[in-house]
Structure formats: structure tokens, C-alpha cells
Amino acid sequence: MSTTVDRGPAPAPRTVRPLVGVFGAMAISLTGTRVSAIALPWFVLATTGSATMTGLVAFVEMTPYVLVKALTGPMIDRLGPRVVSWTTDAVSAVAAGLIPLLHGVGALPFWLLLVMVGVVGGVRGPGDLAKEVMVPEAADRARIPLERATGLAGVTERLASTVGPAVGGGLIALLGPMAGLTVNAAAFALGSLVIAFALPAGMGRAAAAPEPAAEGAPGEKVGYWQMFREGFTFLRSEPLMLTVIVMIGITNLLDAGFMTVLIPLWAKESGGGPAAIGLSGSAWGIAAVAGSLVAAAVAHRLPRRTVFFAGFLLCGAPRFLVLALDAPMGVVLAVFAVGGFGAGFLNPILGAITFERVPRHLLGRVGALGDSLAWAGIPLGGLLAGSAAALTGLLPVLLAFGGLYLATTTLAGLRPEWREMDRSRGRGAVAGSVPPSTVGAESAAGEPVGSAAR
């Protein structure tokens, strides 16, 4: 008489389709956003001639982005990131498409432009986060280490940052800024379709939480504010993550002013125009892709803290200084390329820290709060840079922003929490995650959190 050993359910077959789908949607929507990031400020600057109004548009876009993103973490966990991603991208496509349409018929006053920009910003926040939340599930299905998936997500983002400025600069130079905004709307629409129809059935569902008393009795529906509070309580208990958020929040504020106001002003005053914006952005992006590829291959073997602060040293203050010195275009491109390479290592490290510390069922809540706090200064960056440039001129603002960037990224490294970067390596994602054996022997969890300099 023979006996049959029950080995449990067979593991799901390995498939890279989820990774391709998620990264494809990220690449499409991010490329459109990067095109818009050049087209929109240039349109406002060219039509109004005001650095302050250019900064105001950036403020109106990013304020809803940050606020809505902070509050939609529980919604992503409850509805599932897939539904949130494709619906928000569809709304973004409509709102972004109305801008060139209304401008074409002469019905786009400045206040209505601000409304459309605010709508796009408000729905883009949860849409971006929802795609990021699906990265670990896609990595599990492909059976690759999460830290490697983080690196590939960084490559995707950096490719978008390369193609977007190049396409944006070329389109604006040839056809005007409204062409770039049309591309942005089309990218949102295509990204929505990819998430809705190209991913495998069952992917991106609502998170399944464990059943301790803190989560309520089995079968009992946890309220929105209780879910929000759980995410906040967890984040408050993580000193390293809080320290990272504060540092990234300051650098993001400075980066926002640099990208939305100072770069366009430099391009206008130097005579380089939108082509100079596109060239510098492409130099940054190509090098950042290279850095992200290296990070995807070897980041899990490198000392995180050393690489992290070295990357910031390369990608931060030198950009401001080279523009302040009115250096030749070749020197500007070289400095941007070196900075981009350093920046390519940042998000994989930040993502690895996130997934090693945050339970899967809390990813939406903690990610939304962490990203929103880290991005809180972005709406103010454009306003601050635009107002300061209007009062003092471009040169003093470049020097002041560069000095603040250098101080932030060097002094912050003296805090003791940073030692946890390497101590926690290999700990793996906590409660609610997949056992390490399903994602590879070298697994160290990770995902871009959207909070590094982009």
C-alpha cells in the first residue's frame, strides 16, 4: 500500500509579465510627466514673463499631489493598487488633455489653468503610489530579489527622466509647449490602459491584513481613520525612516525650485532656451540610468550609508554651482551627468529600507504618509525660488540653494540613526511579506519610494 505525501499547493509559475506591465506603465506615465515638467513652466514663463507665476503653477500642482497622496494610503490598501492606478491615470488624462484643447480655442484663462493643473496633481499622487505598491508583488511573481526589483524600478524612472526632457525640449522648440502637454495627456491614457488590461488577473488586489486584535475581529471591517492611524503609528516608531524623510523633504524642496524655476530662468537668460533644458535633463537622465543599472546589479553588496551620502554629494550642490558660474554648456552637461550617476543609487537604497521595515499590508498607508511628508516642501520650492529670483536675481538664489543642499546632505549624516541602514540589511520585509525563499537567496527588500531627488 502506497502513501501520498501532501507537499502543499504547488508554487505559482514564475512570470515576468507583472514586472513588465508595472514598469511599462510607470515608464509611460513618468515620461509624460517629465515632458510636462518642461512644457508647463516654459508655457507660463513665455506667456507671462513672470518667475513668480511660474512658481505659483508648480505650487498649485504639487500641493494637491502631497495632500491627496497623504490621505489615500488606506484607500489603496482597501481598494487595491491596480484599481486606484488605472482610474487616477484616466482622470489625469482628461484633465491634462483639456489644457491644450481649451488653449487652442482661446478659453484658458490663468485661473482655469491652475484648476486643471491642480486636478492633475491631486489624482497623480495616489496613481504614482499605487504603481510603486505593486512592485513587490511583481517581484515575487518574477522570483527576483526585491532590492533588484527596486533597482529596475529606478532604471525605469531614470529612463523616463532621460526620454522626457529630450522629447519635451524638442517638442517645445519645434511645436510649442502645448504639444508637450498633449503628449502628457496621451501618456496618462496609455498608462491607464496598461494597468487595466495588461497585468495578470488577480494582481494588485486589496492588501490582506493579519488578524490580531489591533486589526479588529476577523471579518470586521477596519475604518478608514483606524487604518490611517495604524500607518502613522508605525511610521512614528521608525527613527531611521523619520530621519530620512526630514532630509529628503529639504532636498526635495530645493530640487523643486531648481527644476521648475531656476533651470528655466537659466535657460532663458543664457539664451539656451528649451533645448538647453532638454540637453541638461537628458545628460542627467542617461547617467542616472547607468547608475540605476549598476545599483540593480551590485547595490545589495555595497555599504548603503557610504553610497547614499556619496550619491547625494555628487547629485546635489554641484548642479547649482555650475549654473551660478555661467559655465560653458559642455561643463554643465558633464556636471549633470556625474550628478545623475550618483542619483541613480538613491532610490534603490531608500526602497530597500522601506521594504525591510514596512509590513506588506501597511505599504499603502506608510508609503503615502512617508512620501507626502518627504514631498511636503515641493509645492513651496517653486514659490520660494520664483519669489527669491524676482527679488535678487538668479545668481544669489543658485548659490543659496546650493549651499543649503550641501549643508543638508552632509550634516544630516552625523545623526546616529543612519547606522541602521546597514544593520537592518537582509532582515527582509516584515509581517505580511513573502518568505525569502520565494524571492531569491540574495533578497533584500526594496522599492522606490518617490522621495529621492528625481
Show Cβ contacts of residue 4 under 8 Å, excluding neighbours closer than 6 positions. none
* Res 393 pLDDT > 80: yes
Residue with cell 490598501: 77
Over residues 177-196, the pLDDT tens digits come to 888 888 889 999 999 999 98
d(CA 354, CA 350): 6
Residue by residue, DSSP assigns 84-152 as HHHHHHHHHHHHHHHHHHHHHTT---HHHHHHHHHHHHHHHHHHHHHHHHTHHHHHHHHT--HHHHHHH
Mean pLDDT of the chain: 79
Q: What is the three-class DSSP state of 303?
A: coil
Distance of CA 166 to the CA centre of its chain: 19
Question: The C-alpha cell of 137 is what?
Answer: 508583488
Name the residue among 326, 348, 25, 58 with its Cα closest to residue 189: 25
Q: What is the DSSP letter of 304?
A: H
- Residue type (1 letter), 128: D
* Res 380 pLDDT > 90: no
pLDDT at 277: 83
Q: What is the DSSP letter of 442?
A: T
* Res 305 pLDDT > 90: no
Contact indicator for 356, 441 with CB cutoff of 8 Å:
no
pLDDT at 216: 46
* pLDDT grade for 12, boundaries at 50, 70 and 90: low
d(CA 409, CA 243): 12
* pLDDT grade for 222, boundaries at 50, 70 and 90: low
d(CA 372, CA 368): 6
pLDDT at 20: 87
Distance of CA 399 to the CA centre of its chain: 26
Question: The C-alpha cell of 33 is what?
Answer: 510627466
Host H or E run for residue 21: helix 17-48
Over residues 263-298, the pLDDT tens digits come to 988 988 888 887 788 788 888 888 888 887 887 777
Contact indicator for 143, 438 with CB cutoff of 8 Å:
yes
Q: In Å, how far are 152, 342, 429 from 348, measured between CA atoms?
A: 9, 12, 15
d(CA 99, CA 407): 39
pLDDT at 93: 92
d(CA 158, CA 293): 10
pLDDT at 318: 93
- Residue type (1 letter), 72: T
* Res 440 pLDDT > 90: no
pTM of the predicted model as reported, rounded to 2 decimal places:
0.66
Select the more confidently predicted residue: 145 or 248: 248
Host H or E run for residue 386: helix 378-392
Contact indicator for 15, 142 with CB cutoff of 8 Å:
yes
* pLDDT over 90, % of the chain: 16
pLDDT at 240: 82
d(CA 448, CA 4): 45
Q: Residue 387: is it exposed, middle or buried by C-beta count within 10 angstroms (0-12/13-18/19+)?
A: middle
Over residues 105-134, the pLDDT tens digits come to 888 898 998 999 999 988 888 888 888 888
* Res 234 pLDDT > 70: yes
Over residues 320-366, the pLDDT tens digits come to 999 999 889 999 999 999 999 998 888 777 877 777 777 777 777 78
Name the residue among 21, 25, 55 with its Cα closest to residue 40: 55
Lowest mean pLDDT among 199-208, 257-266, 342-351: 199-208
d(CA 105, CA 436): 57
